[in-house]
Amino acid sequence: MNQTATQPKTDKLKPKLFSVMKTYSGKQFAQDLVAGVIVAIIALPLSIALALASGVSPEQGLYTAIVAGFLVSLLGGSRVQIAGPTAAFATIVAGIVMKNGMDGLIVSTVLAGMIMIVMGFCRFGKLLKYIPSTITAGFTFGIAVTIAIGQIKDFCGLQFQNAPIETTDKLIEVFRCIGSFRWEAFMIGMLALAILIFWPKKLDKIPASLIAVLVTAVLVKVTELPVNTIENLYTISNDPPKFTLPTVTFAAIREMLPNAFTIAILAAVESLLSCVVSDGMIGSKHRSNMELIAQGIANIGSALFGGIPATGAIARTAANVKNGGRTPIAGMVHSVLLLVILVVLMPYAALIPMPTIAAILFIVAYNMCGLKNIRDMIKTSPKSDIAVLLVTIILTVVFDLVVAIGVGLVLAALLFMKRMADVTEAHAWVEYDDEDTDPDNIIRKKIPEHTRVYEINGPMFFAASDKFKYMLDDKGLDILIVRMRNVPMIDAAGVASLAEIVKLCEKDGIRIVFSHVNEQPMHAMEKAGLVSTVGKENFCEHIDTALLRAQALVEQKHPANA
């Protein structure tokens, strides 16, 4: 009763903000304000770094955090979710921008937003948990590798002769241009990396990324070291986000649709994962479908106001919780403060050294790669799962996420079907087991003469459809009882297999009786006409009833033995 009562509450399409405001207080606002300010300080260098890793200008990362962050907090299904640009999108966004320009990125992101909105209204929030963990772990690790490889150039101050897009080409270009290595850039990068690693161990209240940016920017400026800064490579604008419409054609939509699905799946998975993590931290329960709708609206808004794809950011959400944020107000404060920083302080971001940006992204890549999770999977998973994991990683690095996710899902589905087929069996009971405690074990029953009972265990689907034909190998049968209590589902191929068995039974003069057919298989067999062919009276609810029916049929055929 309790589960039934609470289920609609967690699934209703109502933003969390509207629920929490009923009991909102001034004390909570003070906590949300502090948390929002701290998260904004954390998000500032990260948003810039992730924008540069995505191949767009620095302010576009802030546009994303401002617009998407505000909309997700306003409309989302989580109390504490912080949305913005994340590393998961960096490689795919960079590829889209290089091949299709900003218009292609806007079209892809808007389409992805629409897909997520549809997913939310169709109540797909719970279905995303069925994406295998080997695939999510694989492409997450692959993304981390591609981000890290992409930062070697700036970290070492290399001067590339070409502008490679693919990760493998970037790695080749690194070795080709290793002669342009600049020790000044490398030392600044190492200093930033040291701050990012060791600062949180002493003063974790002040974001290490902010300290790294300030220290290295001042050092490069004062000493006039020959190190590239953002202003050497990009033109920075402090204009607030402006509404822009792309040039849209049907051909562009068709071309961008695969990228849109990839962005939508990534955004959905990462956002809902962030919600689950934050639920555990504050003892709350998010509304997954409302979160999908909010993420969809946020991505559309981000794209139309100059931003890039956004999703829930686990690290920023955790920082929000740790600093007292308990309602969506904290996320809205974070977005408003970033807007103020953009307008007032953005010109100073031009002084940030590129090796520092690379160091920040190295830490991001390390934190997202999930080395411990990968190691545990390799130790404990079957070889087939490890193969899916490695294939997904390799395809993510060598090709792209679209290929990796597509191939990974196909492989995982094929392996799942094989496992289901392996556990599906049809067997006759021929041997008594003293340790068997099942009161309905057929060996405990009296089986009529000329009768054989076969029990099918597992789903009857196309991958296992060839496992049932040998039930007719026995000679001298008059009655075949097919026991289906352990068959949860059946597909068209399974129904076809049963229909063939029924046809062969009719040909050989064998009567067939079905026992304990579950709801879904019974419905499928009724639609296929099997119930009318066999006769409703030959479908029994229990094995005892089926055995009595078999006895009656035997007596009809052999009255002398009755």
Domain-embedded: residue 536: yes
CATH of the domain at 534: 3.30.750.24
User: What is residue 118's predicted lDDT score, i.e. its pLDDT?
Assistant: 96
Domain-embedded: residue 507: yes
Residue 4 burial by Cβ neighbours in a 10 Å radius (0-12, 13-18, 19+): exposed
Residue 464 confidence (pLDDT) above 70:
no
Q: Among 369, 385, 414, which residue terminates a domain?
A: 414
Q: With bands split at pLDDT 50, 70 and 90, how would you rate the model's confidence at 414?
A: confident
Residue-number span of the structural domain to which 454 is assigned: 426-561
Residues 338 and 404 in one domain: yes
Residue 157 confidence (pLDDT) above 70:
yes
DSSP letters for 342-358: HHHHGGGGGGSBHHHHH
Q: Which of 286, 372, 276, 361 is nearest to 318 (CA)?
A: 276
Domain-embedded: residue 246: no
Domain-embedded: residue 344: yes
User: What is residue 465's predicted lDDT score, i.e. its pLDDT?
Assistant: 63
Tens-place pLDDT, residues 2-55:
444 444 455 688 999 999 998 899 999 999 999 999 999 999 999 999 999 999
AA identity, residue 339: L
Residue 560 burial by Cβ neighbours in a 10 Å radius (0-12, 13-18, 19+): exposed
Residues 407 and 500 in one domain: no
Q: Among 388, 414, 440, which residue terminates a domain?
A: 414
Q: Name the pairing type of β-strands 451-457 and 479-486.
A: parallel
Domain-embedded: residue 492: yes
User: What is residue 207's predicted lDDT score, i.e. its pLDDT?
Assistant: 85
Residue 429 confidence (pLDDT) above 60:
no
Residue 492 confidence (pLDDT) above 70:
yes
Bigger pLDDT: 493 or 532? 532
Q: Report how far residue 472's alpha carbon sits from residue 254's, in angstroms, rounded to the nearest whole number.
A: 52
Residues in CB range of 8: below 8 A, 6 or more apart: none
Residues 466 and 524 in one domain: yes
Q: Among 386, 414, 442, which residue terminates a domain?
A: 414
CB contact at 8 A, 200 and 208:
yes
Q: Quote the pTM value.
A: 0.75
Domain-embedded: residue 110: yes
Q: Which of 407, 405, 125 is nearest to 259 (CA)?
A: 405
DSSP letters for 379-433: HHS-HHHHHHHHHHHHHHHHS-HHHHHHHHHHHHHHHHHHHHHHH-EEEE--S--
Residue 562 confidence (pLDDT) above 80:
no
Residues 433 and 394 in one domain: no
Q: With bands split at pLDDT 50, 70 and 90, how would you rate the model's confidence at 1?
A: very low
Helix (H, G, I), strand (E, B) or coil at 56: coil
Q: With bands split at pLDDT 50, 70 and 90, how would you rate the model's confidence at 444?
A: low
Q: Report how far residue 277's alpha carbon sits from residue 257's, in angstroms, rounded to the nearest whole number.
A: 30
User: What is residue 468's predicted lDDT score, i.e. its pLDDT?
Assistant: 66
User: What is residue 439's predicted lDDT score, i.e. its pLDDT?
Assistant: 60
DSSP letters for 505-521: HHHHT-EEEEE---HHH
Residues 225 and 345 in one domain: yes
Tens-place pLDDT, residues 511-522:
999 999 999 999
Residues 402 and 275 in one domain: yes
Residue 243 confidence (pLDDT) above 80:
yes
Residues 455 and 387 in one domain: no
Tens-place pLDDT, residues 309-345:
999 998 899 889 988 999 999 999 999 999 999 999 8
Tens-place pLDDT, residues 512-554:
999 999 999 999 999 989 999 999 999 999 988 999 999 999 8
Averaged pLDDT, 455-481: 75
Averaged pLDDT, 114-120: 96
Q: Give the C-alpha distances (Å, rounded to integers) separating 350 from 29, 43, 184, 335, 422.
A: 34, 17, 18, 21, 60
Residues 382 and 451 in one domain: no
Residue 423 confidence (pLDDT) above 80:
no
Residues 32 and 54 in one domain: yes
Would you give the end-to-end CA distance of the chain in angstroms? 51
Bigger pLDDT: 233 or 57? 57
Residues 223 and 291 in one domain: yes
Dihedral sign, Cα of residue 135, residue 136, residue 140, residue 141: negative
Q: Report how far residue 93's alpha carbon sits from residue 101's, in angstroms, rounded to the nearest whole number.
A: 10
Q: What angle do CA 314, 318, 324 make, to 5 degrees?
A: 150
User: What is residue 442's predicted lDDT score, i.e. its pLDDT?
Assistant: 63
Domain-embedded: residue 35: yes
What is the share, in percent, of the chain residues with pLDDT greater than 70? Answer: 91
Residue 203 confidence (pLDDT) above 80:
no
Name the helix (H) or strand (E) containing 484: strand 479-486
Residues 389 and 445 in one domain: no
Domain-embedded: residue 251: no
Residue 418 confidence (pLDDT) above 80:
no
User: What is residue 132's predicted lDDT score, i.e. its pLDDT?
Assistant: 80
Chain-centre distance of CA 525, in angstroms? Answer: 35
Q: Give the C-alpha distances (Å, rounded to integers) separating 208 from 54, 134, 345, 356.
A: 22, 32, 19, 12
Residues 337 and 462 in one domain: no
Residue 68 confidence (pLDDT) above 90:
yes
Bigger pLDDT: 33 or 232? 33
Averaged pLDDT, 376-383: 82
Tens-place pLDDT, residues 384-398:
888 888 998 998 888
Q: What's the number of domains the chain is made of? A: 2
CB contact at 8 A, 227 and 352:
no
> Can you name the residues that pair with 425 across neighbouring β-strands?
457
Bigger pLDDT: 239 or 163? 239
Assigned token pair, 416: 């799942």
User: What is residue 198's predicted lDDT score, i.e. its pLDDT?
Assistant: 92
Residue 555 confidence (pLDDT) above 90:
no
